[in-house]
Chain A
Amino acid sequence: MNESERGKEEFYSEVQELIEGLSRDLLSLDDQEKRKKVEPDLVNDIFRAVHTLKGLAGLFGASRLGVLSHNLEEILDDLRLGRRPLTREAIDLLFKSIDAYGQLLHMEQSQEVDVPPALEQFFQDLSRFVHVSEGPALAPLAEYELDAGLLSVLTEYEEHRLRTNIQQGMSLFRVRTIFKLQTIDEELEQLKSVAKPLGEIITYLPTGGGDSDTIELEVLMASGAPPGQLQKTLGGPLIRIEELARRSSAPAPAPASEEHGHESLAPAKEVDSDPHELRPTPGLQTASLKSVSQTVRVDIRKLDSLMNIVGELAIVRASLARIMERVRGQGALRELGVELHRLHRAFDRHLGQMQDGILEVRMVPIGQIFDRLGRIARQASREAGKQINLVITGAETEVDKLIVEELSDPLMHMVRNAIDHGIEGPEERQRVGKPEQGTIAINAFQKGSHVYLEVEDDGRGMDPARLIETAIQRGFLSEQDSRELSHQDAFALIFLPGFSTKTTVDMLAGRGVGMDVVKTNISRLGGVIDVQSDVGVGTKMTITLPITLAILSALIVHVGGQPFAVPLSSVQEALVFDPANLRTVDNREVMTLRGATLPVARLARLFQMEEQNRGFVVVVAAGSRRLGLVVDYLEGQQDIVIKPLGPSLRQVRGFAGAAQLGDQRVGLVLDSPALVEEILAGEVGKTPLGLRRGMA
């Protein structure tokens, strides 16, 4: 990749990040607007993001991105300055612009020239909107005895904020405080953060007071809190607070300070009052510069290759351990052996730290995709004419970057399905006594080396009997086999390819749209998906995923003289195999484990290898289902770097890949969910369902 290409890549990913941030902020804005409590800082953040986008687009000659950003900037500037009210129309337009950004970015990347008509239409709508301005009535400033000197130094934005605050019935305060010159940035930041819960700082100006080491500032603040509370919260020996007099209200104290204020505010006229430039405080500026310089964007492939090196090092470590054992066995070399042992331990520890470090770098909060989901949910619920409340918890749960990327499509499908088929229309909800607004809860959390993702709706739920009926109608299932299906099995029907068709809009079909794809994607990530549903109450789907794909702990077992790795995440327990415990039920081998029936598969037989010992049973689980794998013997636990099998072995089922196990040995990694699926599907019988699931 040459310099300019790399620059472009950087540009794309930076724009992508900005768009994602923008999308997140817009959701908050939407939310705040609904609660009629819009935070001015949020509008500023959005304005700033668009401003940055405009700059970037200019830098890289992406003119269409530039034009879009420019128009948005105009609208946002009007919004933040109160020249235009924040209407639903404006918010909708902003939301649409996120999609437009996405499309434009894609076009930039693929160097497409033709703008799709829909996008062209949006551009026209946007520019029409820019030129319509509805100036809201100005709030009266006259109510306060603010002198012209003060008003003249306020920027347009500050004036707007002042008016808004007065309109909201806030009182104005003048806060005088003395800062040390050396630490003014930090002290100012601290003051701001302390003041924020109480009100808004409109502006601050130096009074000209203070000695060579200090500076006196006068802060104009709007707050609904009583002066006493302000004094208590902000207070300190160096802070004085006065309330500004209101013309109509009771006489205010200290006209002298008013005069003083005039004098002190006067010298600050040189302050830049360009309405397009938010005046960043010195403190803010340094803080943001810092955060930029401390972040690096890294291609995930580079991390993969680092992880491969760690894998190779782990093999070196294993060889070292063997040499160490040999040295220790020889009496004459005892001292050397002890030293080697110490070195080996240090090597082991540092390697472990390095592995953890690389894994940590790959981890990103899963919330990244939730932002996108919010937007999709909003759109889908509008299209479906349903009111949806998307409740997200656990957005900070960290998962491997690759998994997060791959999760976004399946999650989108699931949320869409929940909206389209799970949540009832408002009338129906009212009739059954549910709140009109449906709730979709997405919950992410970590447990052990797994991440759990739940998507739960309070919709109409799925009826197993109806699912089975549909499956029989469609020829997925014979009537006879259907009697043997448990509820759990019935829900699994929705994952069959083509289970639902568009011709049926009854209450349970339709669910299957894309669910087979969801399942395929999840299993490709080494995850499983479980469904629980109660008619009339709702549906809950739980995805269980490994935290990382890069490296996994595995139990090394031997079958037919060859090592196999079983991902430890799927292993529940391992026990000594007792042939006396084995029973045959309907031609299937099962054993009893603590009073419960456990289906058993002899791996050697399954893989057509020579059974040598069959000494142990490894119990693996996929979702709520369990299976005992009979193996020759257990070798132990090892961390492995898993690699995919080549395209020539793609159709071979039952293996997730292979890994190097040391001594040049390559071991196949068992795909436990697929094996569980295969064996348990066989139990249903040789039905179309069984065959299908066995092959899938």
Chain B
Amino acid sequence: MVNSRGSRQLGRRAQAAERGGVTEFLALRLGSEIYGVPLTHVREILVAPPLTQVPRAPHDVLGIINVRGHLVTVIDLKRRLGLPDLEPPRKGRVLLVPGPEGELLGLSVDEVLQVYRLSESEIEPAGVLGGNVAEHVAGIGRRDGALLILLSPRALLGGAA
């Protein structure tokens, strides 16, 4: 769990980086693919706490957790993106991200990897993948041969069920 000082530092660094034409992305793994979300959108990274299932909730809702006295709805990012649900989460983490209506949402991911600082030249628009790209893909990031699918948090959560 990143403590609050840690998350503030994350935020400050991200802001400073963006000013210089560089954006910081948090790289995370879902199944076999690596995704990136803008670091400015990540409030906190949690080790997956005990989860309470919510019957009758939408398919991609894993359940609710208690974060320091507040209830947070956790969304399975793989299900939300329509990815196969294969491995049991072992290094699973929950990212706290701002959702619509001021709600803080949890995104469950298989693993959190590292922070990439990408300059504009290292980011390709989603268009390179052809016409039929999912709305939530904002672009492709490249660094040292690694490939990062950059997610648009707004497209991802805007229609949050």
Contact = CB atoms under 8 A, between A and B. Distances in A.
Interface of A: 308, 311-312, 560, 562, 606-609, 643-649, 652-655, 657-658, 660, 664-668
Contact of A647 (B54, B56, B103): B103
Contacts of A653: 56
B72 A646 contact: yes
26 contacts: A311-B69, A607-B55, A608-B55, A643-B70, A646-B73, A646-B103, A646-B104, A646-B105, A648-B61, A648-B73, A648-B105, A648-B161, A649-B73, A652-B54, A652-B57, A653-B56, A655-B54, A657-B71, A658-B64, A664-B50, A666-B50, A666-B64, A666-B65, A668-B52, A668-B54, A668-B64
A561 to B, nearest CB: 9
A608 B56 CA distance: 8
A648 B99 contact: yes
Interface string B27-56: 000000000000000000000011011111
Interface string B97-108: 001110111000
A658 B160 CA distance: 20
A666 B66 CA distance: 7
A14 to B, nearest CB: 31
Given A562-B53, A658-B71, A664-B50, A648 B103 contact: yes
A648 B160 contact: yes
Interface string B59-96: 00100111001111101000000000000000000000
Nearest to B51: A666
Most B Cβ at <10 Å: residue of A312, A646, A658, A668: A646
Nearest to B49: A664
Contact of B71 (A312, A560, A643): A643
A515 to B, nearest CB: 27
Interface of A is mostly: mixed
Q: Which 4 A-B pairs have the closest CB atoms?
A: A607-B55, A666-B52, A647-B101, A648-B73
A657 to B, nearest CB: 8
B52 A667 contact: yes
B105 to A, nearest CB: 6
Contacts of B161: 648
Most A Cβ at <10 Å: residue of B54, B70, B99: B54
A608 B101 CA distance: 29
Contacts of B160: 648
Interface of B: 49-50, 52-57, 61, 64-66, 69-73, 75, 99-101, 103-105, 160-161
A682 to B, nearest CB: 15
Contacts of B69: 308, 311-312, 660
Nearest to A667: B52
Contacts of A654: 55-56
Contacts of A644: 71
Contacts of A608: 55-56
B55 A665 contact: no
A665 B52 contact: yes
A281 B38 CA distance: 71
A646 B61 CA distance: 12
A646 B65 CA distance: 11
Nearest to A666: B52
B66 to A, nearest CB: 5
Contacts of B105: 646, 648
A657 B64 CA distance: 11
A312 B99 CA distance: 26
Contacts of B71: 643-646, 657-658, 666
A606 B56 CA distance: 9
Nearest to B70: A643
Nearest to B53: A562
Nearest to B102: A647
A35 B72 CA distance: 60
Contacts of B54: 645, 649, 652, 655, 668
Nearest to A654: B56
Most B Cβ at <10 Å: residue of A312, A560, A645, A666: A666
Contacts of A666: 50, 52, 64-66, 71
A657 B138 CA distance: 35
Nearest to B104: A646
A606 B55 CA distance: 9
B50 A665 contact: yes
Given A649-B73, A666-B64, 5 more contacts: A608-B56, A645-B73, A646-B105, A649-B61, A654-B56
B159 to A, nearest CB: 11
Contacts of B70: 643
Nearest to B101: A647
A267 B52 CA distance: 82
A647 B158 CA distance: 13
Given A312-B69, A666-B66, A658 B52 contact: yes
A647 B100 contact: yes
A499 to B, nearest CB: 27
A558 to B, nearest CB: 12
Contacts of B72: 646
A314 to B, nearest CB: 12
A399 B99 CA distance: 35
A661 to B, nearest CB: 9
A541 to B, nearest CB: 31
Nearest to A607: B55
Nearest to A559: B55
Contacts of B61: 648-649
Nearest to A648: B73
Contacts of B50: 664-666
A644 B103 CA distance: 12
A607 B161 CA distance: 19
Contacts of A606: 55
A668 B63 CA distance: 10
A647 B75 CA distance: 13
Contacts of A647: 100-101, 103
A648 B104 CA distance: 10
Most B Cβ at <10 Å: residue of A311, A607, A643, A652: A652
A667 B54 CA distance: 9
A311 B70 CA distance: 12
Contacts of B53: 560, 562, 609
Contacts of B49: 664
A648 B65 CA distance: 14
